[in-house]
Amino acid sequence: MKDPKTLVQAPPRGPVEPVQLGLDDRIQFRCHKGIDCFNQCCMDIDITLTPLDILRLARRLDIPTSECLALHAAAFEMDQHGMPGYKLRTREDSPACMFVTDEGCGVYEDRPAACRYYALGSMGLHREGSAGVDDIYFLVKEPHCLGHREPRTLTVGEYRREQGVEVYDDLNREWRDIILKKRSGGPAVGSPTERSFQLFHLASYDLDGFRRFVLSTNFRETFDLEAETYTQLEEDDEALLRFSARFLKQVLFGEQTIPLQEGVRERRMEQRMERRRRRLEAGKEETEQPFDPRYDAPQEED
Ligand code: SF4
Ligand code: SF4
């Protein structure tokens, strides 16, 4: 199962049908346990994980998101700047998924979005002259997949509903658009700092760590949020995921939607200058990144 969701601009060659589909277009496909190719699609995988994929797997396995990453994900770089990404980890001795069993997917109710979509692919497309991102769909026809021969037709919209992808798309869309914007390299994007990558990693993939971060004293002293918002972020995974996209837009693109506490910029500038003064006094080299409000976020607390 090759994940076509990582694509940004054009459908690939190979098994992908070069036809863009809309929600009302019909496809012929059915997958079921009695089919001869059952599980074949999980024997050679290349699946990019989204924030919600990792969160759902971690909740299902009852482990923290950081442990889920360590056990079930493999890091890769999403672009030439080294933007961190994760793929679903395969078995040590084969490209098969770690979760596949004789009975089918061992994490079926919480399987990643790409597994839900298959044999459809989806991607976001920047059309020239358009400010937004369009969702388009296409059929992936791998030779081993016999589901395309099954006598059932349904619309793309019906298939999405059947496979439960809507909630995934809803919660992942903003994150996907952040990556598209980052890749298309608008003027405010530039080359991200190491710190911005750390924050991207935390807010995208390690949601439990991100929760500790936003509930920390440092964060509260930096950002001016209502007490009610903090309660939501503490208790509600979905709210935390939505907030993480908002936070990333602030960190990466300078979209200031999370208000800063009064005087925080001045205080942090003073702290930086004080650290710099101390380093110079100690004869140490300048190692700190220059002040940049795009990346001006507090450090995580120990
Ligand atoms: S029909 Fe396709 S998706 Fe279903 S088990 Fe077979 S290879 Fe996998
Ligand atoms: S998570 Fe489930 S559906 Fe996805 S590749 Fe693994 S076994 Fe297959």
Which tokens belong to 138?
């296409």
CB 1 less than 6 A from any atom of ligand 2: yes
Q: What is the pLDDT of residue 14?
A: 44
Nearest to residue 124, comparing CAs of 47, 9, 205? 9
Cα–ligand 2 centroid distance for 103 (angstroms): 12
Q: CA–CA separation, 200 vs 177, rounded Å?
A: 14
Instruction: Say if residues 45 and 96 touch (Cβ distance below 8 Å).
Output: yes
Q: What is the pLDDT of residue 282?
A: 81
Burial 182-215 (b: 16+ CB within 10 A, else e): bbeeeeebeebeebbbbbbbbbbbbbbbbbebbe
Q: Which of 41, 53, 97 to mutate to test the pocket of ligand 2 (most atoms within 8 A of CB)?
A: 97
Print pLDDT tens along the chain (302 aa).
766 544 433 444 346 766 889 999 999 999 999 999 999 999 999 999 999 999 999 999 999 999 999 999 999 998 888 889 999 999 999 999 999 999 999 999 999 999 999 999 988 777 777 767 788 899 999 999 999 999 999 999 999 999 999 999 999 989 988 888 887 765 445 566 788 889 999 999 999 999 999 999 989 988 999 999 999 999 999 999 999 999 999 988 888 899 988 887 787 788 778 888 888 888 776 555 544 444 455 555 43
CB 42 less than 6 A from any atom of ligand 2: yes
Q: CA–CA separation, 200 vs 206, rounded Å?
A: 10
Integer angstrom CA distances of residue 299 from 82, 89, 271: 21, 30, 13
Cα–ligand 2 centroid distance for 136 (angstroms): 23
CB 45 less than 6 A from any atom of ligand 2: yes
- pTM tops 0.75: yes
Q: CA–CA separation, 73 vs 70, rounded Å?
A: 6
CB 97 less than 6 A from any atom of ligand 2: yes
Instruction: Say if residues 144 and 39 touch (Cβ distance below 8 Å).
Output: no
Burial 125-160 (b: 16+ CB within 10 A, else e): bbeeeeeebeebbbbbebeebebbeeeeeeebeebb
Q: CA–CA separation, 186 vs 284, rounded Å?
A: 36
Integer angstrom CA distances of residue 166 from 23, 118, 135: 12, 14, 12
238 phi and psi angles, rounded to 5 deg: -65, -40
Number of H helices, E strands in the chain: 11, 8
Chain position carrying tokens 């298939």 = 159
Q: Residue 150: nearest ligand to its CA? A: 1
Q: What is the pLDDT of residue 40?
A: 96
CB 118 less than 6 A from any atom of ligand 1: yes
CB 78 less than 6 A from any atom of ligand 1: no
Q: Which of 37, 43, 148 to mutate to test the pocket of ligand 1 (most atoms within 8 A of CB)?
A: 37
Q: CA–CA separation, 271 vs 265, rounded Å?
A: 10
Nearest to residue 18, comparing CAs of 136, 147, 158? 136
Q: CA–CA separation, 140 vs 151, rounded Å?
A: 17
The CA angle 221-226-231, to the nearest 5 degrees, is: 95
